[in-house]
Structure 1
């Protein structure tokens, strides 16, 4: 395996709490950030606009702890509904101090299935404990508890974490292990750094220098690229494009509008 940047965690002193160990310094965003995207789906070599997505982050509290509350909603339109119904709402609370995961919820209508996943994080005995709750499409509820010695994340907290990676010392092909869990199981997953590319937001004159990452998971003995995303090469690390490789085809999300950005957009190419 190529050099793993994440090995720094293995060098942390044992006296450090698991919550601190699972955090990362946030230099990318503040409360009040809002990002909006257009969604496109590929059908027989033609790209169709099939919906929208939006992500908002506000300053909040979770169980008395100051936190960032981040929500992501995706809404397919009638064109996508003819192929695959998608109505997803994801919610995440992470510590405002260091983005340590605190809570995650996903409510998803995907095809004909509606299900809910929830995770509550605690950090006893220098470990990461997950209280897991799932409501299946048939309404059956499942509760479970699991504890891990390593840090575990979810779909949202890992996204916020990735926005704060320092790529200045990265090389193409560098791998960052990132174990992710839902309310059913733990996934063997990681990110790979793909280098830099320039990207122009469609319909505008805005062009950005971007860092490119791919998110992979291993399933059935094979590696699967799930998402390739482009983030601005500045401290904000705003995702301007996401390529999603789905079981039923390919989709893309393109940044449409943004506001409440934390710092100067120094990645903008004039």
Structure 2
């Protein structure tokens, strides 16, 4: 394990920071979405991720957003209108997270607000439930806490050169309703064809959360095997079925796309 990963696992940095080698302001990634409907994969919408340098509480920060939009033709099968937003410091410490999720007939909102008093990580969590009620929690931890967006931004800068299949990075996740143990599990290398017609050498990573004493697979990421670690394909295991996202376009990358096969 590299020194950087050791520091990450122990979360010894009081401000929960990490060096960014994978992306820069202005990166835009777009995807086609597919749903599994009665054992058939149906093209069902689009997704986009945009990262830009912005400001949060008057200080420079990265603002990253991920939107998923199912089209009206498949709304009778499954409604998906998710918007995820996060702010991180330029050193990738989480500052704010919001997820507005319209999945099936349910609509929920999760928010997490981060501060770092006295070398600790303090989180204020808010959830708007499907019935319209609200709940709030506040906790302070000695270790770092993340959300799905901030851990994804951080993971893109991991150095996987020494990883072997089955390697695991553990971390706690906050989602507006509490803190959950989670992990990224490395599953090896493969080649993935994107919806732009190109093929890429990829690393396969699974994101899992602890649920009822067992780790449940939430998303499989196939990220480019280069310094960008761009998600080429995502396999999402939803409460109401499964979906896939395939890369269509990308611009504003920080590094050459060396994983693309000729």
Decide whether the 8 Å contact of 2:64 with 2:87 is kept in 1. yes
Offset of residue 12 of structure 1: 7.4
Give the structure 2 partner of residue 184 of structure 1: 177
Counterpart of 2:220 in 1: which secondary structure? strand
Give the structure 2 partner of residue 81 of structure 1: 75
Offset of residue 188 of structure 1: 1.5
Give the structure 2 partner of residue 234 of structure 1: 226
Number of equivalenced pairs? 262
Cα pair distance change 1:10/1:117, threshold 3 Å: closer
**Residue 166 in structure 1 maps to residue 166 in structure 2:** no
Decide whether the 8 Å contact of 1:33 with 1:58 is kept in 2. yes
- After the TM superposition, which of the residue ranges 185-194 and 136-145 deviates more from structure 2? 136-145
Decide whether the 8 Å contact of 2:32 with 2:195 is kept in 1. no
Q: How does 1:14-25 map to 2 (within 5 A)?
A: 16=13, 18-19=14-15, 22-25=16-19
Cα pair distance change 1:11/1:228, threshold 3 Å: closer
Offset of residue 258 of structure 1: 0.7
Any unmatched runs of 5+ in structure 1?
none
Offset of residue 7 of structure 1: 4.2
Give the structure 2 partner of residue 38 of structure 1: 32
Aligned equivalents of 1:71, 1:238: Cα separation in 2: 15
Aligned equivalents of 1:30, 1:191: Cα separation in 2: 23
Counterpart of 2:161 in 1: which secondary structure? helix
Decide whether the 8 Å contact of 1:6 with 1:177 is kept in 2. no
Give the TM-score of the pair, scaled to structure 1. Answer: 0.91
- Please report the RMSD computed on the Cα atoms of aligned residues, expressed in angstroms: 2.1
**Residue 209 in structure 1 maps to residue 209 in structure 2:** no
**Residue 54 in structure 1 maps to residue 48 in structure 2:** yes
**Residue 99 in structure 1 maps to residue 115 in structure 2:** no
Cα pair distance change 1:25/1:229, threshold 3 Å: same
Offset of residue 162 of structure 1: 1.1
Any unmatched runs of 5+ in structure 2?
none
Q: How does 1:112-261 map to 2 (within 5 A)?
A: 112-202=105-195, 204=197, 206-261=198-253
Counterpart of 2:202 in 1: which secondary structure? strand
Q: Deviations over 1:118-176 (max 9, x none)?
A: 11101112211001122223332222211111111011101111111110111110010
Runs of 4+ in 1 over 3 A off after TM superposition: 5-13
Cα pair distance change 1:250/1:138, threshold 3 Å: closer
Give the TM-score of the pair, scaled to structure 2. Answer: 0.93
Decide whether the 8 Å contact of 1:70 with 1:92 is kept in 2. yes
